[in-house]
Structure 1
Amino acid sequence: MNQIRISGHQISLDIPPDIWLESYPGPLGQVITNLINNAMFHAFEGREMGQMRITAQPLGTDRVEIRFSDNGVGISEHNLRHIFDPFFTTKMGQGGTGLGLSISFNIVTSLLGGQLHVTSTQGVGTCFIIELPLHTTLPAL
């Protein structure tokens, strides 16, 4: 979070206090961290101040929707099709590995039993939509 303060970008949260999610906090935290890092590294290129927002809302009685959005430069149609592919990066040789969003996709869909989608409009921003069950069961060994 210190990196956000130093950058001049802002992040806001809108999460109702009555949403209780029984899941894996470490992996879910990793997904959120990856989304923040991705926005910091890609979305605000050439901008002094960017906005990130995390919201959550219930979906029926057994699911929750978490949205991470930014008002950055957006993602091209071509890149959007590959964004969750391992090693896909637009910053090759500049510190990007192309693994953050791929790892996030696998955590959400495999370990957490959810779905991860992305929408983006160039010049407007990007929104990642995470749908998770409110109760994650342990995987069978």
Structure 2
Amino acid sequence: MIAAAVEEQNAATSEISRAVTSAAQGTQELEVIDDGRGIPAADLPRIFDPFFTTRLGFGGSGLGLHITYALVTRVLGGRIAVDSEPGRGTRFTLVLDRTAPLQGGPETRTVAGT
């Protein structure tokens, strides 16, 4: 996510910010915000689909956001949302439990640093 945002930015005139805050009890919220060109509304429903890219032939595989979505929702049990408009930039919001589920069992483990 951050790499894609950096790639789209003009370093001299654009900004990318990250913020981690406590959300509801037991969760952390991570926001990644850029002031780049934004994502067209027609593309928003597909951005987490595997192999969806607007950079075909220019190095984009279309797997970055799909992998991010899978890690956040399936591995970490969290949620990811996107808010974007062309010309306004993009905001990704990840909400993660401070205790991530162990794969293959009902136990949980605490994420380091919490």
TM-score in same-fold range (> 0.5)? yes
* Structure-2 separation of matches of 1:91 and 1:37: 14
Task: Say whether the 8 Å CA contact 2:75–2:101 is kept in structure 1.
Answer: no
Task: Select 2:75's aligned residue among 90, 111, 118.
Answer: 111
Tell me the distance in 1 between the aligned counterparts of 2:3 and 2:82. Answer: 16
TM-score (norm 1): 0.70
1:134 aligns with 2:108: no
Whose helix fraction is larger, Structure 1's or Structure 2's? Answer: 1
Task: Give % identity.
Answer: 35
1:47 Cα deviation (Å)? 7.0
Would you say how many aligned residue pairs link Structure 1 and Structure 2?
105
How far does the alpha carbon of each residue in 1:100-137 deviate from its partner, in whole angstroms, 9 at most, with x for none?
00000000000111011100021111000000001112
Query: Which amino acid in structure 1 is aligned with residue 52 of structure 2?
Result: F
| 1:79 alignment partner AA | D
Q: Which residue of 2 aligns with 1:71?
A: 35
**Partner residue of 1:89?**
53
CA deviations on 1:69-104 (whole Å, 9 max, x unpaired) are 000010000111110000000000100000000000
User: Would the alpha carbon gap of residues 126 and 94 (structure 1) be closer, same or farther in structure 2, given more than 3 Å must change?
Assistant: same
Give the structure 2 partner of residue 57 of structure 1. Answer: 21
Say which SS state the counterpart of residue 99 (structure 2) adopts.
coil
CA RMSD of aligned residues (A): 1.5
What are the ranges of 5 or more consecutive residues in structure 1 without an aligned counterpart? 1-34
Higher strand share: 2
Quote the Cα distance in structure 2 between the aligned partners of 1:122 and 1:49: 17
Q: 2:3 aligns with which of 19, 37, 51?
A: 37
Unaligned 5+ runs, structure 2: 106-114
Aligned to 2:56, the other structure's residue is in SS state coil
Q: For 1:92 and 1:41, locate their aligned partners in 2 and report how far apart those are by CA, in whole Å.
A: 15
Measured in 2, the distance between the counterparts of 1:52 and 1:92 equals 24
